Amino acid sequence: MKNVLITGAAGFLGSHLVDKFLQEGFRVYGMDNLITGNLDNLKHLDANSNFTFINHDVSNYINFEGDLHYILHFASPASPIDYLKIPIQTLKVGSLGTHNLLGLAKAKNARMLIASTSEVYGDPLIHPQTEEYYGNVNPIGPRGVYDEAKRFQEAMTMAYHTYHGVETRIVRIFNTYGPRMRLNDGRVIPAFMGQALRGEDLTVFGDGSQTRSFCYVADQVAGIYKLLFSDYVNPVNIGNPVEISIADFAKEIIKLTGTTQKVIYKPLPINDPLQRCPDISKAKEILGWEPQVNREEGMRITFDYFKSLSQEELFKKEHKDFKAYSKN
C-alpha cells in the first residue's frame, strides 16, 4: 500500500482528494492546521483505518516517520475573505510551507504535486489563458499575497525539480465548486446560493460582465489524479472552459433556487479579474482529461448540499475566528 500526504486535507478540495486516494487504495495522511479547514469535511472517515489526520501547520518544520511515496500540497487560504484577513499566513504557506514539503519530498524520494491557481494569470490580457501566459499580476495589490505566493510556489517547485531532481507536478486550478464549499467564503457560487437561501438579494460586483468558468469538484479531482501519475512536469490548467458572465450566472441561480430576489450591484473590488477561462488543450492531449459534469447538474448537486445545512450555518457570518493567527 502506497502512502500519500495531502496538506489542506480538511478543506473543500483537499477533503475530496482524501476520498479519491482512499478509494484508489492508498494509505492517506491528511495534514491541516484548521485555520480555514473544517474537520466536519473528514468526519465520515473517523472509522477508516487507512486515514490518519495530522494537525500541523506546514509553514513549520514537518517530521514524518516512515515511507512516503506522494505529497499533494493543497494547504492555503483560497478565498479573498481568507487571504485578506490572514495575508502573512497566506504568503508563508505558499513559500515556507512549500519549501518544507519539497525538502520532505527530497528526503523521502517522494513525488510532489502542488496546487497552483488560475490567479497566477492575474487580470489576464489574453483569453482564454494558456499555460505559456506569464500573467498580469499586481504584486502589492490586495490579491497579491495569494497570487505571488502561488507564483513563488511554482518557481520553488521547478527549482527543486531542476536542481535536486525531485519528481514534481504543477496543477493550475480554475474555479471549482461542489459540496463542502464554505457557505460564507466570499466566492460567487456559495455567495449567491447562500443569499438565495437566506432570502437576500444577490450581490453582483461591477456591472456583471466579468466572466468565470466553473469546474465541478469530481472533474477537478479526476484531472489532478491523472496529472500526478503522468510524466509531465510543467504546469497544466485544470478547469472547465465553458464561460459565463456573472450577471447571467446570477439569473441561473435565481432560476435554480426558485427564489424571487433581485440582483443588486456594488463596485468591483481592486484587481478583480474581468475574465477567467482556461485553455485545457494540454490537459486533453497529455492527460486525456476534460470535464464530464455540466454546470446544470453540478449546480443542482451543490445547491442540494447547501440546502441541507442548518439554519445556524446558513446565517453564520464567518466560518473561522482568525484572531489566534493575527500575530504570526
Considering the segment(s) 188-212+241-275+293-320 as one domain, its CATH architecture is Alpha-Beta Complex (3.90)
Express each pLDDT in 26-76 by its tens digit. 999 999 999 999 999 999 999 999 999 999 999 999 999 999 999 999 999
61 counts as catalytic:
no
Q: Residue 319 pLDDT > 80, yes or no?
A: no
Structurally, at CATH architecture level, domain 3-177+216-238 sits in: 3-Layer(aba) Sandwich (3.40)
User: Can you tell me which residue has the cell 498580469?
Assistant: 136
* pLDDT, mean of residues 143-150: 95
Please count the helices (runs of H) and the strands (runs of E) in the chain. 10, 13
Q: 257-311: per-residue pLDDT in tens?
A: 988 888 988 888 776 778 889 999 999 999 999 999 999 999 999 999 999 987 7
Segment 74-92, tens digit of pLDDT: 999 988 889 889 999 999 9
SS (H, E, C) the chain: CCEEEEECCCCHHHHHHHHHHHHCCCEEEEEECCCCCCHHHHHHHCCCCCEEEEECCCCCCCCCCCCCCEEEECCCCCCHHHHHHCHHHHHHHHHHHHHHHHHHHHHHCCEEEEEEEHHHHECCCCCCECCCCCCECCCCCCCHHHHHHHHHHHHHHHHHHHHHCCCEEEEEECCEECCCCCCCCCCHHHHHHHHHHHCCCEEEECCCCCEEECEEHHHHHHHHHHHHCCCCCCCEEECCCCEEEHHHHHHHHHHHHCCCCCEEEECCCCCCCCCCCECCHHHHHHHCCCCCCCHHHHHHHHHHHHHCCCHHHHHCCCCCCCHHHCCC
Q: What is the mean pLDDT of residues 121-150?
A: 93
Residues 5, 64: contact at Cβ < 8 Å? yes
pLDDT tens readout for residues 248-257: 999 999 999 9
**Looking at residues 16-29, what average pLDDT do you find?**
98
pTM of the full structure: 0.94
pLDDT in tens, 156-187: 999 999 999 999 999 999 999 999 999 888 88
Q: Is the pLDDT of residue 220 over 50?
A: yes
Closest CA to 40 of 6, 74, 15: 15
Rounded to an integer, the average pLDDT of 98-111 is 98
**Domain parsing of the chain, residue ranges:** 3-177+216-238, 188-212+241-275+293-320
pLDDT band at 195 (very low <50, low <70, confident <90, very high): very high
* 282-294 pLDDT, tens digit each: 999 999 999 999 9
pLDDT at residue 133 greater than cutoff 60 = yes
Residue 192 has pLDDT above 80, yes or no: yes
What does the pLDDT read at residue 107?
98
| Separation CA 60–CA 93 (nearest Å) | 9
**One of 83, 146, 160, 216 is an active-site residue; which one?**
146
Question: In this predicted structure, what is the pLDDT of residue 47?
Answer: 96
The chain-wide mean pLDDT, for the chain, equals 93
pLDDT at 149: 97
**Can you give the pLDDT at residue 320?**
53
